[in-house]
Amino acid sequence: METVLVVDDEPIVRDVVVRYLERDGYRTLTASDGDSAKALIEEREPSLVVLDVMLPGTDGLSLCRWIRGRSGLPVILLTARGEEADRIVGLELGADDYVTKPFSPRELAARVRSVLRRSNGSTPLHEKIEFGEIELDGGSREARRAGAVIRLTAKEFELLSFLASHPRRVFSRDQLMARVWGYEAAVDTGTVTVHIRRLREKIEADPGQPRHLHTVWGTGYRLDP
Q: Over the stretch 91-105, which tens digit does the pLDDT of each residue have?
A: 888 888 888 888 889
For residue 119, pLDDT beyond 90: no
pLDDT band at 123 (very low <50, low <70, confident <90, very high): very low
DSSP string, 152-201: --HHHHHHHHHHHTSTT--B-HHHHIIIII---S---THHHHHHHHHHHH
The predicted model scores a pTM of 0.69
pLDDT at 185 over 60: no
Q: What is the pLDDT of residues 140-167, one digit of tens each?
A: 788 999 889 998 888 888 899 989 988 9
Among candidates 46, 201, 64, 193, which has minimal Cα distance to 119?
46
CATH 1.10.10.10 residue ranges for the chain = 128-223
Q: What is 128-223's CATH topology?
A: Arc Repressor Mutant, subunit A (1.10.10)
CB 220, CB 175: distance < 8 Å: yes
Start-end ranges of CATH 3.40.50.2300 in the chain?
3-119
Neighbours of 151 (CB within 10 A): 14
CATH number attached to the domain at 3-119: 3.40.50.2300
